[in-house]
Amino acid sequence: MVALAPTAGPPSAPWREPSALPGFSLAFGFTLFYLGLMVVLPLAALAAKPWEHGVAGFFEVVTAPRTLAALRLSFLAAAAAAAANVALGLLTAWVLSRYDFPGRRIADALVDLPFALPTAVAGIALAALYGPNGWIGEALAHLGVKVAYTPLGVFVALLAVGLPFVVRTLQPVLEDLDAAWEEAAVTLGAGRWTIFARIIAPVLAPALIAGFALAFARGAGEYGSVIFIAGNMPMVSEIAPLVIVTKLEGYDYAGAAAVGVAMVVISMVALAVTNGAQIALARRTRR
Amino acid sequence: MAVSGAAALAAPALARAAPAPATLLNVSYDPTRELYKDYNALFAADWLRRTGQSVHINQSHDGSGKQARAVVDGLAADVVTLALAYDIDQIAARGLIAPNWQSRLPFNSSPYTSTIVFLVRKGNPKRIHDWLDLVKPGVQIVTPNPKTSGGARWAYLAALAFARRHNGGDENRGLGFVRGVYKNVPVLDTGSRGATTTFVQRGIGDVLLGWENEALLAIDEAGPGKLEVVRPSMSILAEPPVSVVDKVVDKKGVRPLATAYLRGLYSEAAQDLAARRHYRPRSATVAARYVAKFPPLDLVSIASFGGWGRAQARHFADGGSFDKIYQPR
């Protein structure tokens, strides 16, 4: 950032696309300031906290069996739920953007509900539904499946929370996908599977990955909807954000920040991998 | 204050006019919501009658530890009314409250008490009558996590107090019993109200281990004939303490008002309110009226654990006896 600053002023900067709109310097400066205030500063404050007991203290907290179990649960459940949402979300987005049916607009609006619902409300509703005396929970209990108060409950909560991220990322891409391409493919003798694999999938892939990344990142940090249905048993169904809250309850600010930093690092690595995949895919599609 | 002083100088006749209205912020924990709603109205009316000043009291409720942290982080509470002394100690440790706070008001600054009891389903189908029944195979216990809930810490220590006595005072053998209790816990909620919901609404578990006031409230809410309170042979004297926040009241100049607010909790009328809201009153005359609701119990105090500082470090801090229950072996 600092290295760039001297070149930011003149409009002839070589790294800048010429634009008809004025006010670049102001907008650029504001963007940097806003990102700094909203993202970099809080993260820096977090990163400064966990070193009260030195580097060894940090690693002691982060590698404790209970912390590791919680991190594993949070990130694995988030990945599994995001993957499931990619499949289910693709189907939902496909139906919503390709077909016209009575109540389509209502169904479309329902997708946004998990966005709008306070997460605690979603959690209580899910716990009531999947609890041993809830509608679904009671039926599943006959089959010997327990959802509420098990790690499976975490997965179900993240499934509900993550769905709109995938659907809303895919929908505009699907709507922009010109049916003429598919029609052209049909005239050239392509089967349905070929059309999907060679035309639709390559166009959708970047959006699918972006949707996965959004749902995954949101799921890993999700607290409100999960704690009501997880059971919160240490080593079994305790999510990483709850470990943070628990440490804060014990006035252990450094320990809480250590787990927070670990979550940020894992999330950043995961996002870097998905972004890398997206870039690689974009290159392949362009070829 | 400055304005009313100037008015007094300029026009003595106006000096007796009503003083400026005041506000207080009472930062409390979850289950006291209804109690303080009642008490605030009682106190405000009394204060207005005695001083001519109208006072509005705002109340804030959440988990006890979370509330203490909010005050430490700058929430301008005039008074704190929390679940356990440890949380107020933490505020005092940061210089906001005088170190001797607990000796400033009667009864360890705890105007009402509660204890830890069992709440079971109608007819007590699993025949749970005392602590030993909790570790019987097939008994499921619902109780919140002591690391996040003040009430759960009292419950943990109540179980340990029984187990210690049962094992001739041997605390390590007592902890073996406590481990057995928590092995029968399928869900650890983060707070008392959450555990009550899990037990009553979700139908999880055979017994809810928690506050007596919360158990009595749950019976009120569920309606007659659904739940029963079981009082074990012994339990713990839970003292939810109160204090003014010295730094805040001195800055705002409301120390007399805030102190009167807390002292008023010991009045007969307030004690009666507390008893109606399911807290055990301190006043002997009020307690006598509610003896059927609050039968006398064999209760040990936190002092038998060396006070909250020691209990916290030994049992609830990271690596403490509670954590050891869940460590893989």
DSSP states along B24-75:
EEEEEEGGGHHHHHHHHHHHHHHHHHHHS--EEEEEEEE-HHHHHHHHHTT-
pLDDT reported for residue A4:
44
Give the burial class of A170: count Cβ atoms within 10 A of its Cβ; 0-12 exposed, 13-18 middle, 19 or more buried: buried
- Residues of chain A numbered 41-70 and touching chain B (CB < 8 Å): 65-66
pLDDT reported for residue B223:
87
Handedness of CA B307, B308, B311, B313 (dihedral sign): negative
* B327/A contact by beta carbon, under 8 A: yes
CA dihedral angle for residue A92, residue A97, residue A98, residue A100, rounded to 10 degrees: 100
pLDDT reported for residue A287:
58
The answer to whether B147 contacts A249, with C-beta atoms less than 8 Å apart, is yes
Q: How much is the mean pLDDT over chain A?
A: 89
Select from A65, A248, A255 the Cβ nearest to the Cβ of B327: A65
> At B118, phi and psi to the nearest 5?
-105, 140
pLDDT reported for residue B6:
43
Q: What is the mean pLDDT of residues A234-253?
A: 90
pLDDT reported for residue A2:
42
* A176/B contact by beta carbon, under 8 A: no
pLDDT reported for residue A16:
67
Q: Taking chain B (329 residues) in consecutive chunks of 10 residues, what is each chunk's mean pLDDT?
A: 43 58 94 94 96 95 89 95 95 96 97 97 96 96 92 96 95 94 93 90 94 94 92 97 97 96 97 97 96 96 95 92 84
Enclosing H/E stretch for B5: helix B2-10
* B90/A contact by beta carbon, under 8 A: yes
Give the burial class of B68: count Cβ atoms within 10 A of its Cβ; 0-12 exposed, 13-18 middle, 19 or more buried: buried
CB atoms within 10 A of CB A129: 16
Whether A39 has a pLDDT exceeding 80, the answer reads yes
The confidence band for A87, taking pLDDT boundaries of 50, 70 and 90, is very high
> Which of A19-23, A116-120, B308-312 is most confident?
B308-312
Q: What is the mean pLDDT of residues A244-255?
A: 88
The confidence band for A282, taking pLDDT boundaries of 50, 70 and 90, is confident
Q: H helices within chain A, ranges in order? A: 24-35, 41-48, 54-62, 65-98, 104-111, 113-116, 119-130, 135-142, 151-176, 179-187, 192-195, 201-221, 224-230, 240-249, 253-286
Q: Closest approach of chain A CAs to the CA of B70, in angstroms?
A: 11
For the ranges A12-16, A256-260, B196-200, which has the lowest average pLDDT?
Answer: A12-16
pLDDT reported for residue A157:
95
> At B235, phi and psi to the nearest 5?
-155, -160
Q: Which residues of chain B neighbour A128 with C-beta distances below 8 Å?
A: 201-202
The confidence band for A286, taking pLDDT boundaries of 50, 70 and 90, is low
Q: B119 - beta bridge partners?
A: B208, B229
Amino acid identity of B182? Y
